[in-house]
Structure 1
């Protein structure tokens, strides 16, 4: 058998190790804050070890076009959850537009990424975005900037730290080789440059369901469009394991 360094397999996979670092200057991010039906949000979380922490959730799109490694768009629906005493944001639905970043996010850190086409269009008076795949719309958002929107409606809500499940199924059995709850908080290194708020319209597609019901938005609270310097550092961009269940 040849002398073999297993770390070289990352080159074959097309992404770095779990402690790799990257930066994205002038990251554009859109977050639309919504209020949903508590029973539906709890239904979504039934297959997970998390409990619902808030009936508010976020619909988001981020443009990593300036990323120091692979460039990509990211879109998500993020729920507020708790595990024990830890409260954070769970990326429940998530899409990206590069196959390598989809694989890396799922396999390294447990983000439930799927491939989709993503757009984030900026105008003088607003922002619009959409996520689609093979003619199916995952969601669409339309935001109009309005200085009267203060962010008070989502005060106290935070998607950080991210709380995700990184689960590795058994290759020949019914269970999991590992099942870890991980926490990751890149907000500690984010440098905000600009923020604009406004009103928003969100349309969720037929793919976004809780059980056999389409996920409902009872109220759209408002939107926040930010520009800032993103950093995934070894200190905060590398996840920590909160608990291991397998």
Structure 2
């Protein structure tokens, strides 16, 4: 018979929490990412931002697939599309859409407002060729190819990636509507160290599934891509999100 130890009972399910307590600190050595920097249609970006309180800043985005499997506390694969947005006088990176393959990581991220869903990711590096994919409901949502043998200089970056600006939304339990909605900011960049970052020519294909509209951003203008390796650390001091505003 297993022994279930309940700590604060502030998690779900209370008798056997899905998310570890506490959620931080956690880390990952050699977190690997393949990414592409792309320009997309401005009208499309504005349309996808419309349900949020965030303001349009630029049509430049980063599309990525990440391998976080070396984390001893929270191993997962991750992917998404990030834009720089503005909330009042604050600029930050907004994960417009994001997917992961570990239900613990999905639930943890949703505590802070990350829009995580379940999908299957693959990231492979063969010599100078790096390939990343994201598949959900039988649809390949993201396909990124980067050729590091064809280096590119001056690949653009987002105006702001940190803090991550999120919209933490909790639905009503007794009917349609929102019970609570808060804008959060999270920034653990000070304890992350980039070990390497190589640029190269990139190709990107995006597709929609029945409820994953990332394919709306096609066609994309690919400005370059890269492959980075990072030592990640979220500490007790910077791993939590801060509530910037309460909307509801």
TM-score (norm. length: structure 2): 0.88
8 Å Cα contact 2:77-2:101 kept in structure 1: yes
Look up the SS of the partner of 1:225 in the other structure. strand
How far residue 103 of structure 1 moved from its aligned partner, in angstroms, is: 2.2
Stretches of structure 1 lacking an aligned partner (at least 5 in a row): none
8 Å Cα contact 2:185-2:244 kept in structure 1: yes
Aligned to 1:74: 78
Q: 1:173 to 1:70 in 2, by over 3 A?
A: same
Cα distance in 1 between the residues matched to 2:51 and 2:11: 35
TM-score (norm. length: structure 1): 0.89
How far residue 225 of structure 1 moved from its aligned partner, in angstroms, is: 1.1
Query: Which structure has greater strand proportion?
Result: 1
8 Å Cα contact 2:26-2:74 kept in structure 1: no
Cα distance in 1 between the residues matched to 2:40 and 2:103: 31
Q: Does 1:132 align with 2:107?
A: no
Cα shift readout 1:83-118 (whole Å, capped 9, x = no counterpart):
011111111111111122222222x11111111110
8 Å Cα contact 1:140-1:203 kept in structure 2: yes
Number of residue pairs matched by the alignment: 239
Aligned to 1:168: 170
Cα shift readout 1:30-80 (whole Å, capped 9, x = no counterpart):
221100110000000011111111110010111111112131100111122
The farther-off stretch of 197-206 and 128-137 is 128-137
Stretches of structure 2 lacking an aligned partner (at least 5 in a row): 1-6
How far residue 173 of structure 1 moved from its aligned partner, in angstroms, is: 4.3
Moved over 4 A (4+): 8-11
Aligned-CA RMSD value: 2.1
